[in-house]
Amino acid sequence: MDTAEIRRRFLNHFSERGHTVVPSASLVAQDPTLLLVNAGMVPFKPYFVGDLTPPWSRATSVQKCVRTVDIDNVGRTARHASFFQMCGNFSFGDYFKAEAIPFAFELITEGYGFRPDDLWATVYLDDDEAEEIWRTLLPPSRIQRRGKEDNFWSMGVPGPCGPCSEIYFDRGPEYGRDGGPEADENRYLEIWNLVFMQYARGEGSEYGYEIVGDLPARNIDTGMGLERMATLLQGVENLYEIDISRPVLDAAGRLTGARYGTDPAADVRLRVVADHTRTAAMLISDGVSPSNEGRGYVLRRMLRRAVRDARLLGAREPVMAELFTEVRQAMGPIYPELVDQAEAITAVAVAEEAAFLETLRTGTTLFDTAATQARSTGSAQLSGESAFRLHDTYGFPIDLTIDMAADAGLTVDEAGFRRLMERQRQTAKADRASRRIGNLDLSAFRPILATAGPTAFTGYSELARESG
Ligand code: ATP
Ligand code: MG
Ligand code: MG
Ligand code: MG
């Protein structure tokens, strides 16, 4: 079943049950507590907390999501992508647990054809009500209770929250240990989270938040991972191999000369290249441009990592233009914003790639020298001084230096790096202050000052001594 069909069935299932189909919002979050939309409910938060009256009591959507917290998992687990699509159904003070659980179960079993025997459910520690409902659908042995970490959901402070119930598919013993989701989340693949959004979260308490009261109504917020569903329904190993991702993965292989499926370490990099390229394209199509802070920095890191990993896999020429074409072909039918702005989107990535390749070209020599030097002194650490110089002279972001050092079997003196950065910041501040007073432009001296450190002016006393 292709992704388009999974998506169609989801939206149909819920529109047949009285839900209004709402298009995906932009990845750029309107909510001040978030940089990027990371769940289907984010655009609906004002309805949950009661700031706005929802125009419908039931809604369904397939929301574009980016999760930077999952970046380190990308390419390594079967189930985490940095960009993914969350299919959701929402009740704004309308139905609650007794309908939400069967709605999901019916779609999974009748709509997508899963056998109930392969399914597990989890509920929050004290949620007897949800467990009761699940017992009408699954045997008690396949219902587990889990704690706050997994079965309590919240968004922002202040924000809505509530216990949740998750649905898992057992991929079988060849994927890991027995014992349900609590024992092994690789074998038991989480496909859907049903959140019973009923409390308001506020500041305070030693955990950084606490429940401060009830929301104006009891709501439902659910999220089913479209790519995870596709992974299972298409019988592939991980979500990079599904219909809408595989072409990008294959293109990454073609462009770098690394054949997917031959070397596990190379496979991780190929998946990272494919993943980050797609996320970058989606971010640019929503108006994000590379920069050194916020969303722009997320995008910049994605592009740089993709470019660098492509190099490490063997690419000798720029790869972005072609990878972006593949992303557009795979995702364009659902996201016209990728097609309408095709040239402008690709141009952003191509320019960032060119600039970064130049940075890499000039900085790599210095990096190699510094690494050799570190090793020759018997140290497994790159000095803060070297990291600072790479940053200051060649524009190497510290995370790139750390990555490159790790590949060379070295760590980086990050504390030393930060001290030098701080010293530079102070110097720059002092410069600005003196410029304001004396109209003197001292910026040309800043690099000297940053590397050599501040010099105490001793002229008066020394000269006085000499002449005296
Ligand atoms: P996991 O525990 O596997 O990291 P999660 O509990 O963090 O997932 P939720 O926050 O409950 O995920 O999000 C709802 C659904 O969105 C998940 O059940 C899953 O199907 C999907 N999902 C979450 N994170 C990702 C991701 N990084 N890539 C693809 N799908 C995801
Ligand atoms: Mg997660
Ligand atoms: Mg989870
Ligand atoms: Mg979850």
- Selection from 404, 311, 271 nearest residue 279 by Cα: 271
Q: Count of CB atoms within 10 A of residue 56's CB?
A: 15
Structure confidence at residue 455 (pLDDT): 61
Per-residue pLDDT for 394 more than 90?
no
Record: fold of 3-233: BirA Bifunctional Protein; domain 2 (3.30.930)
Structure confidence at residue 393 (pLDDT): 86
Which tokens sit at 224? 């089913």
pLDDT tens profile 53-86: 999 999 999 999 999 999 999 999 999 999 999 9
Instruction: Give the confidence band of 159 by pLDDT, cuts at 50, 70, 90.
Output: confident
Neighbour-count burial for 188-225, b at 16+ CB within 10 Å, e otherwise = bbbbbbbbbbbbbbeeeeeeebeeeeebebbbbbbbbb
Segment 247-262 mean pLDDT:
97
How remote is the CA of residue 41 from the centroid of ligand 2, in Å? Answer: 15
Residue 66 Cβ contacting ligand 1 at under 6 Å? no
Q: Which ligand approaches the C-alpha of residue 190 most closely?
A: 1
Residue 79 Cβ contacting ligand 1 at under 6 Å? yes
Per-residue pLDDT for 467 more than 50?
no
Q: Which residue has the tokens 């596990």?
A: 264
Segment 153-177 mean pLDDT:
92
pLDDT tens profile 308-342: 999 999 999 999 999 999 999 999 999 999 999 99
Structure confidence at residue 457 (pLDDT): 56
Structure confidence at residue 342 (pLDDT): 97
Question: Distance between CA atoms of 252 and 238, rounded to whole angstroms?
Answer: 17
Q: CB–CB of 380/409 below 8 Å? A: yes
Residue 84 Cβ contacting ligand 1 at under 6 Å? yes
What integer best gives the mean pLDDT of the chain? 91
Contacts of 351 (CB under 8 A, 6+ apart): none
How remote is the CA of residue 194 from the centroid of ligand 4, in Å? Answer: 8
Q: What angle do CA 279, 34, 280 make, to 5 degrees?
A: 10
Per-residue pLDDT for 305 more than 50?
yes
Segment 31-47 mean pLDDT:
94
How remote is the CA of residue 335 from the centroid of ligand 3, in Å? Answer: 27
Q: Could you tell me the residue ranges of all domains in the chain?
A: 3-233, 246-412, 424-467
Segment 93-105 mean pLDDT:
97
The protein residue whose alpha carbon is closest to atom 2 in ligand 1 is 190
At 194, which amino acid appears?
Answer: L
